Amino acid sequence: MKKVILALAFVSILAFVSCKESIAEKVENATETVGTEIETATENVVDAIDSTATEVGNDMKEGVDDMAKKVDEVVK
């Protein structure tokens, strides 16, 4: 009877340790996934900011060119 109880206790301990390792692996994988998603999101934001800045710069250049043409027309 003692051997059966000890065997069950041993199996329970092995199951607990095995489960603990599995949870640790899942947490590590989830952490890596979140890190990758944050990195991707950050890159997307940087790209959006860059493209917006380029568009604004181009719009301002066009506006300045239009204003210069109008000033030239008024001066003539």
User: What pTM was estimated for this model as a whole?
Assistant: 0.55
CA 50 to centroid of chain Cα atoms: 18
Contacts for 25-31 with beta carbons within 8 Å, 24 or more apart? none
| Residue whose structure tokens are 């065997």 | 7
Query: pLDDT tens digits for the chain (76 residues)?
Result: 777 787 878 777 767 766 666 777 888 889 999 999 999 999 999 999 999 999 999 999 999 999 999 888 888 7
Q: d(Cα 8, Cα 16) in Å, to the nearest integer?
A: 12
**What tokens were used for 39?**
């990195």
Model pLDDT, residue 58: 94
